[in-house]
């Protein structure tokens, strides 16, 4: 259809003053499609347009549908599952995105090149954004995000107007909104909110993965601490056994001291019982020979030595005198 887009935009804005922007939508090849996106500043005007389902501009009728911005779907580059990043992946094995088989080390895998999607078994790669399963996931996620957003606030949003008139509407892609608009940065408040939500979610993801890392660090610390504790316990056990051994050594030493004491006592007995009396007798005999005529001592020096020696032996015997 031939239509002056600027003129059409102006007419629309005149009809509905709360329309702020009229944006021509494009397909993935950046070609214009028969849809425009209307950005409004008033939630009520948006709801009115959506309820009317139709808008008349210059005697032509255009269909109106709610615009739901498609959200980015995460596909893990490790396991090809939907909804998480590689960093958050809990899978052990890597999945080949071509043939969907899993391997410990994907580098060792020689792919059969038989393309099979992990999600739908279709003949496309597992990270193909147009896989029906991925598309359904994206649509569900978009709806969820929309619900969250609607619960937060009912602010103005954008709607899509089908700029083909009724006669040509059968040519319009029925799959809207899932494939109609490529994801593009927008100044639309709803898009901004969705973006904020998505970035919020990815921040949550990031925080969670940081928490995971911290938790891993803590677990590592606990493992090291446990090992340390075990080592300390072993050292304490070693010390205890050394202590026990020392106790035993002390006991052995005590026994030896006792033995020595007994030996000393028995030696003492030998001295006291046999040697001392014998020595005393010998000394007494020498003493008698040291007396000359008239009872005089021949050698006084020898006598004093003998006396001193006998006294010492008497002291050693515990005061018992041999005299
Ligand atoms: Zn994964
Ligand atoms: Zn493969
Ligand atoms: Zn698929």
Model confidence over 13-54: pLDDT tens digits? 998 899 988 988 888 788 888 888 888 888 888 888 889 888
Task: Give the ligand with the smallest distance to the CA of 128.
Answer: 3
β-pair type (19-26, 158-165):
unpaired
Most confident by average pLDDT, 18-27, 121-130, 303-312:
121-130
**Alpha carbon of 95 to ligand 1 centroid (Å):** 9
The tens digit of pLDDT for each residue in 199-224 reads: 778 778 778 878 877 888 888 888 88
Integer Cα distance of 197 and 121 in angstroms: 32
Direct distance between the N- and C-terminal alpha carbons of the chain, in angstroms, rounded to an integer: 156
**Alpha carbon of 119 to ligand 3 centroid (Å):** 5
Q: So what's the ipTM on this one?
A: 0.86
- Residue 122 pLDDT level (bands cut at 50, 70, 90): very high
**Cβ-contact 64, 176 below 8 angstroms:** no
Domain boundary assignment for the chain = 5-72+137-184, 74-128, 264-316
**Alpha carbon of 131 to ligand 3 centroid (Å):** 4
Phi, psi torsion values for 320, nearest 5 degrees? -70, 125
**Alpha carbon of 108 to ligand 2 centroid (Å):** 10
The three-class DSSP label of residue 164 is strand
Task: Give the ligand with the smallest distance to the CA of 103.
Answer: 2
> Which segments of the chain are extended strands (E)?
19-26, 32-40, 54-57, 60-66, 94-95, 102-103, 158-165
Integer Cα distance of 290 and 284 in angstroms: 10
Integer Cα distance of 182 and 31 in angstroms: 11
Task: Give the ligand with the smallest distance to the CA of 89.
Answer: 1
Q: Which of 70, 71, 57 is nearest to 19 (CA)?
A: 57
Q: Which of 13, 14, 31, 30 is nearest to 22 (CA)?
A: 13
Mean pLDDT of 245-265: 89
The tens digit of pLDDT for each residue in 68-99 reads: 666 778 899 999 999 888 988 999 999 999 99
β-pair type (19-26, 32-40):
antiparallel
**Alpha carbon of 72 to ligand 1 centroid (Å):** 16
Task: Give the ligand with the smallest distance to the CA of 100.
Answer: 2
Task: Give the ligand with the smallest distance to the CA of 82.
Answer: 1
Mean pLDDT in the chain?
80
Integer Cα distance of 65 and 51 in angstroms: 9
């Amino acid at each position: 259809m031939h239509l002056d887009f600027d003129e059409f935009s102006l007419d629309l804005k005149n009809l509905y003053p709360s329309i702020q922007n009229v944006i021509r939508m494009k397909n993935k090849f950046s070609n214009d499609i028969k849809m425009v996106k209307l950005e409004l500043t008033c939630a009520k005007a948006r709801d009115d347009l959506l309820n009317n389902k139709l808008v008349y501009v210059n005697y032509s009728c255009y269909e109106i549908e709610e615009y739901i911005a498609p959200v980015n779907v995460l596909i893990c580059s490790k396991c090809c599952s939907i909804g998480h990043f590689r960093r958050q992946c809990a899978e052990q094995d890597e999945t080949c995105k071509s043939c969907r088989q899993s391997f410990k080390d994907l580098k060792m895998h020689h792919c059969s090149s038989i393309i099979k999607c992990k999600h739908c078994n279709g003949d496309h790669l597992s990270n193909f954004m147009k896989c029906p399963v991925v598309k359904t996931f994206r649509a569900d996620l978009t709806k969820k995000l929309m619900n969250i957003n609607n619960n937060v606030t009912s602010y103005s949003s954008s709607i899509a107007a089908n700029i083909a008139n009724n006669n040509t509407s059968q040519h319009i892609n029925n799959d809207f909104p899932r494939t109609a608009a490529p994801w593009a940065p927008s100044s639309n408040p709803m898009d901004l909110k969705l973006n904020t939500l998505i970035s919020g979610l990815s921040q949550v993801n990031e925080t969670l993965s940081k928490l995971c890392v911290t938790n891993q660090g803590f677990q590592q610390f606990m493992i090291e601490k446990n090992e340390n504790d075990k080592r300390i316990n072993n050292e304490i056990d070693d010390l205890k056994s050394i202590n026990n051994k020392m106790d035993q050594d002390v006991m052995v030493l005590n026994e030896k001291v006792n033995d020595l004491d007994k030996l000393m006592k028995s030696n003492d007995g030998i001295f006291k019982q046999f040697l001392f009396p014998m020595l005393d007798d010998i000394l007494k005999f020498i003493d008698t020979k040291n007396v000359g005529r008239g009872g005089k001592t021949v050698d006084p020096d020898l006598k004093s030595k003998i006396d001193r020696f006998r006294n010492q032996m008497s002291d050693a015997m515990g005061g018992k005198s041999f005299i």
